Amino acid sequence: MSAQEISSKAFLWIKILFWKEFSVMRHLMNPLDFTVEELDQLFVLAGDIEKNREKYAHACDGKKLATCFYEPSTRTRLSFESAMLNLGGSVIGFSDAGSSSASKGESVSDTIRVISCFADICAMRHPKEGAPMVAASHSSIPVINAGDGGHQHPTQTLTDLMTIRSLKGRLSDFTIGLCGDLKFGRTVHSLINALVRYPGIRFLFISPEELRIPDYITDMLKEKNIPYEEKIRLEDVMGELDLLYMTRVQKERFFNEEDYVRLKDFYILDEAKMKLAKPDTIVLHPLPRVNEISVEVDDDPRAAYFKQVQYGVYVRMALILTLLGIDTASL
């Protein structure tokens, strides 16, 4: 074999190794970025983390998570930070656009290029739809969409699925009611898109006309022949539900204050309505709650929205490990 052939083969192997090393980097922009099988593996890992937290306490030693939050957040940001700290890693970042160079006019693409020099993985929330996708296209580290406008909120969806799977024992064959702001609710849109991949799901959409589910969602359900109904009165469907997903009317999505005031108290889940529900119905809420669930419901064993928050930490821990390519089998 000539020196030129050896050199050519060596170059080919370098290209193959380089491709293997760098092509596996993944981002999470949408719940559908993971297959059903991959989601199942993620939930198995999250379940193991729940049972064996000490086992994962140093899995991310020396790793840094950047939390780039261009709009306010309590649960999502602190959940990500808790997840990384629980794994032995550290956290850097900002909690609003005003405390970042965005206030000086820096673009998302420039910001992520800078962040890539400091951190190993990034969670980004942004009020503009598609901003995390722009960041991912310019990033040299994995980027997680932590919510972009009224578009997607994939890690909340993973949290919701993990909660349902843990409490119901399955992700199929149930009737779920989604109530409240179905027009702007990114958690609702993400959850529907994720659930349609499982068999036997029936949707009941409960909202005022002004906040009804977008046509592109119902068109998709019709195309896939997935049953759904649209209702206005929550009382009329409580007895049919295996799961009730409550949402708040989001003041920040309204341009008209009068419209918000008129709609914000349209639905309030209270003890009287809970008496109409099945004994094993589960009530979920992505939080924050305003007053769409009365505090009197909190002590009902069917209220699972605070458990939901804890499951969110476990599933984000599993997601960080997965996107960083940490070998959990050796832990």
Cite the active site residues. 75-76, 104, 125, 153
CA-based radius of gyration for the chain: 22
Give the Cα separation of 135 and 144 in Å (integer). Answer: 10
Give the Cα separation of 32 and 141 in Å (integer). Answer: 20
The sheet with strand 64-69 has its strands ordered as: 90-94, 64-69, 121-126, 143-148
Contact 196, 226 (CB under 8 A): yes
Strands 174-179 and 143-148: unpaired
Residue-by-residue DSSP string for 25-60: ---BSSGGGS-HHHHHHHHHHHHHHHH-GGGGTTTT
Q: Which long-range contacts (CB under 8 A, 24 or more apart) does 51-55 make?
A: 53/86, 55/331
For 54-109, give the secondary structure using H, E and C.
HHHCCCCCCCEEEEEECCCCCHHHHHHHHHHHHCCCEEEEECCHHHCHHHHCCCHH
Contact 96, 70 (CB under 8 A): yes
